[in-house]
Amino acid sequence: TITKAKDFRPGAGRGRFFALRTLPFCAVLLYNEKDDGLMCPFPSRWTEGQDKSKERRISMALRKIICIEDELLRKKSRPVEKFDEKLHRLLDDMAETMYNANGVGLAAPQVAVLRRVVVMDCGDGLIEMVNPEILETEGEQDGPEGCLSVPGRRGMVKRPMKVRAKFQDRNGEWYEIEAEELLARCIMHETDHLDGKLYVDIMSRELFDEDDGEETEE
């Protein structure tokens, strides 16, 4: 569930909650005080119904994904303070780079930018998170994980089953998200990147070809 954090009032207003999409593991609800309309907090060319500008398409570029040997991946990323064109370009490039690599998530340090920015798409559209913070976790899930910065490897990793987090969008507006299963795993994996942590640090065992696990590259 994604809600606008500031003005969130469950049950308030004349049916001003809109189900955007419902998946078995992730129901997304959006709330827009301004025009009572369905609002997408993640404007991007991949978001349904959005086709913002040709200029953005042209300016998008693939960035190089750095690998586990690179010490930058072990550094702590700084919060974003300016929600400007440079950030928008970074977000656009990161999404492009993630989709190009068939990943479900990508954190800014993976493209050598030490800022607290992540993009994700677990099959329900692009999610951009700036300055994400985990507020609460619940339960446990054990499953296979991979990472675009650790090519050719995967491992079993225990993660919380549910995660509640807050984050800013590309314009600095705060939101809260409640996620389960794969999206919860993805949020944990990506926010770990922002603190210089990799899944290989916490995996219970490495998976090899003979294991028939499903891979998720983040």
Q: Is 190 known to be catalytic?
A: yes
Please identify, using beta-carbon distances, which residue of 52 and 158 lies nearer to Zn ion. 158
**16: closest CA among 83, 27, 4?**
4
Q: Which residues bind Zn ion (CB under 5 A)?
A: 147, 218
Please identify, using beta-carbon distances, which residue of 40 and 108 lies nearer to Zn ion. 108
Give the separation between CA 47 and CA 51, rounded to whole angstroms: 8
Q: Quote the least distance from Cβ 120 to Zn ion, whole Å.
A: 11
Q: Quote the least distance from Cβ 99 to Zn ion, whole Å.
A: 15
Q: Is 114 exposed, middle or buried (0-12, 13-18, 19+ CB in 10 A)?
A: middle
Q: Quote the least distance from Cβ 193 to Zn ion, whole Å.
A: 6
Q: Quote the least distance from Cβ 73 to Zn ion, whole Å.
A: 9
Helix spans in the chain (H): 54-59, 85-100, 181-194
- 205-207 and 162-168 as β-strands: parallel, antiparallel, unpaired? unpaired
Please identify, using beta-carbon distances, which residue of 41 and 181 lies nearer to Zn ion. 181
Measured at CB, which residue is nearest to Zn ion?
Answer: 147
Give the separation between CA 116 and CA 174, rounded to whole angstroms: 14
Residues 145, 190, 217, 218: which is the catalytic one?
190
Please identify, using beta-carbon distances, which residue of 181 and 218 lies nearer to Zn ion. 218
Catalytic residues: 190
